[in-house]
Amino acid sequence: MENHNKGQWSSSFGFLMAAIGSAVGLGNLWGFPYKMGMNGGFAFLLLYLILVVLVGFVITTGELALGRRSGKGVVDAFKSIDKKYGFIGWFAWISPLLILGFYCMLGGYCMKYAIANLGDLFGASWGVNGADSGEYFAGFYTDQFQTVLFTVIFILLTVLIVKGGVSGGIEKFTKVAMPALFVMLVIVIIRSVTLPGAAEGIAFMFKPNWEVFQGSGFISVLAAAGGQMFSSLSLGMGITVTYGSYMKKTEDIERNAIIVPLADTIIAIMAGLAVMPAVFASGLDPAGGPGLLFVTLQTVFQAMGGFGPIFGFLLYALVFIAAITSSIALLEAVSSVIMDRELEKNPNADKKSVRNKSVFLVSAIILLEGIFVSVDGLGANGLPQIFGQGCWLDTFDLISEGILMPLGACYMAIILPNAFVDEELTLEGNRFRTRRFYDFCIKFIAPLMMVLVLLGQIDTFFKLGIFG
Ligand code: PFF
């Protein structure tokens, strides 16, 4: 069943840019380099690569096939296997909806920092102006007016692109934005690795430290690499199913399921090369989280002298691009489910107005969420908290990335019939070269890994120390 009521990618390149854009996001730019450094460097990278092949590739293949076969958003896609599986689709619908609120807030932070570095370049009053980076950041994220403002602007930009439709909005934007991101990343890497003392940062990332595998260490590194791989590839959250539903039947799913994870991994490693050498060259702490991006790196740029604001602007602008190409994917995944509902009620409805209505409805919810997490100011503004988390960003992340996503992906791997995938991958003369490999990994390795990721996430969110 092919259903292009909601749109279709106009070219293979367009699909690839959109799909890579959905995967490359905030997770790559600060999560990956930090986790790699803290979990044994090259040892982590090796496990990460194995997991990308054994789990990332097969779940991406399954999700793309499910999406294209059903031609529907994630809820109806799961219902197309069997009505009783609709709940897995709802899991994958709630997650991006929860993530969007804080993701757009962090995207708004990047806009603020890109603008502030531009201000420094012109010596304007709205620059950072040599302020202490830690104080500047704390002053910003607790300033409810400013954070709400930037969050709302970021949400409106996301909505504007998604409103333009699959090929006229998302594809058109990502086809320009992703190559631009790549070029900017290369420029920042060249600066970063040529700073005096940069070698230490490269060693932090790549130096093999096999000792981390001792005792329960292996499981702990495996859980960290699995969690990173899984959210970096935007799996278990409807995005890949939705983007698959807009693919032409002539497209080779298997080939695309190799290219997207590979590109995502290459960009994650490149992000590490842009960030870590600069952090070490300045003698700063490589610890992760928002502090790495908005305090540590800002300190690095301030220490660079006259050229600092240029590299600062480039880096925050490229992280902004990475964030918005992911937030449009998150919004499309949530909205497409509403569009399916509307089109089911009224199959002859004007497609443009169905899209507009659905996107606006979802945007209203995201605006409320985004304003709420911005007002919370990373937990510093005194709002009551739940589930023992320090801020509402963490609570939304716990429910989505922590629980619903790995659980949903685990279910999917188990219930998705191999015959469906086989049929979908061999259409139009395409060959399914890795069929046996896929059949084995999706039924045995992927569910096991997803359970491990689930345990790892619960361990991290509740600081249980199960994995040491
Ligand atoms: N894959 C994107 C990233 O790494 O930032 C988008 C994303 C997916 C964000 C899943 C968060 C998430 F839980």
Q: How far apart are CA 245 and CA 364, in angstroms?
A: 25
| Ligand 1 centroid, distance to 458 Cα (angstroms) | 18
Q: Work out whether the CA dihedral 10, 250, 68, 255 comes out positive or negative.
A: negative
Structure tokens that stand for 291 in this block: 């502090």
- Percent helix, strand, coil in the chain, to 5, is 80, 0, 20
Phi, psi of 78 (to 5 degrees): -70, -35
Question: Smallest Cα–Cα separation from 178: which of 30, 9, 20, 330?
Answer: 20
Q: Which residues of 412-449 are buried (b: 16+ CB within 10 A; e: fewer)?
A: bbeebeeebbeebbeeeebebebeeebeebbeeebbeb
Q: How far apart are CA 328 and CA 374, in angstroms?
A: 19
Question: Do residues 79 and 341 lie in contact, with contact meaning Cβ atoms separated by under 8 Å?
Answer: no
Question: Do residues 235 and 442 lie in contact, with contact meaning Cβ atoms separated by under 8 Å?
Answer: no
| Ligand 1 centroid, distance to 238 Cα (angstroms) | 12
Residue with tokens 């006229």: 168
pLDDT of residue 4: 61
Question: Do residues 327 and 107 lie in contact, with contact meaning Cβ atoms separated by under 8 Å?
Answer: yes
Decide: 327 in ligand 1 pocket, CB within 6 A. Answer: no
Mutate to test the pocket of ligand 1, among 60, 99, 229 (most ligand atoms within 8 A of CB): 99
Decide: 264 in ligand 1 pocket, CB within 6 A. Answer: no
| Ligand 1 centroid, distance to 197 Cα (angstroms) | 31
Q: How far apart are CA 52 and CA 34, in angstroms?
A: 18
Structure tokens that stand for 468 in this block: 């040491």
| Ligand 1 centroid, distance to 430 Cα (angstroms) | 30
Structure tokens that stand for 159 in this block: 């909505």
Structure tokens that stand for 449 in this block: 């890994």
pLDDT of residue 286: 84
Cα distances (Å, whole numbers) of residue 103 to 137, 155, 328, 418: 17, 10, 11, 34
Question: Smallest Cα–Cα separation from 104: which of 163, 153, 151?
Answer: 151
Specify the 3-state DSSP secondary structure of 123.
coil
Question: Do residues 198 and 446 lie in contact, with contact meaning Cβ atoms separated by under 8 Å?
Answer: no
Mutate to test the pocket of ligand 1, among 28, 52, 326, 397 (most ligand atoms within 8 A of CB): 326
Decide: 323 in ligand 1 pocket, CB within 6 A. Answer: no
For the chain, 468 residues long, give each residue's pLDDT as a single digit of tens.
445 679 999 999 999 999 999 999 998 887 898 888 888 888 899 999 999 999 999 999 999 999 999 999 999 999 999 999 999 999 999 999 999 999 999 999 999 999 999 999 998 989 998 899 999 999 999 999 999 999 999 999 999 999 999 999 999 999 999 999 999 999 999 999 999 999 999 998 888 889 988 887 888 889 889 989 988 999 999 999 999 999 999 999 999 999 999 999 999 999 999 999 999 998 988 877 778 899 999 999 998 888 999 999 999 999 999 999 999 999 999 999 999 999 999 999 999 999 999 999 999 999 999 999 999 999 999 999 999 999 999 999 999 999 999 999 999 999 999 999 999 999 998 999 999 999 999 999 999 999 999 999 898 889 888 776
Decide: 409 in ligand 1 pocket, CB within 6 A. Answer: no
Decide: 401 in ligand 1 pocket, CB within 6 A. Answer: yes
Question: Smallest Cα–Cα separation from 298: which of 138, 181, 142?
Answer: 138
Helices (H), 83-206: 86-121, 133-141, 144-163, 172-193, 199-206
Phi, psi of 5 (to 5 degrees): -60, -30
Residue 425 CA, chain-centre distance (Å), reads 26
Cα distances (Å, whole numbers) of residue 213 to 34, 265, 362, 366: 18, 22, 44, 41
Who's near 46: CB < 8 A, 6+ residues apart? none
Question: Smallest Cα–Cα separation from 379: which of 290, 300, 443, 277?
Answer: 290
Residue 287 CA, chain-centre distance (Å), reads 20
Helices (H), 212-307: 217-232, 239-245, 253-281, 290-291, 297-303
Decide: 99 in ligand 1 pocket, CB within 6 A. Answer: yes
pTM of structure: 0.96
Mutate to test the pocket of ligand 1, among 59, 104, 228, 232 (most ligand atoms within 8 A of CB): 232
At 155, which amino acid appears? I
pLDDT of residue 287: 79
Decide: 231 in ligand 1 pocket, CB within 6 A. Answer: yes
Mutate to test the pocket of ligand 1, among 22, 110, 158, 231 (most ligand atoms within 8 A of CB): 231
In ligand 1, the atom with minimum distance to the C-alpha of 231 is: 10
Question: Do residues 331 and 359 lie in contact, with contact meaning Cβ atoms separated by under 8 Å?
Answer: yes
* Rg, the chain, Cα only: 21
Decide: 265 in ligand 1 pocket, CB within 6 A. Answer: no
| Ligand 1 centroid, distance to 243 Cα (angstroms) | 15
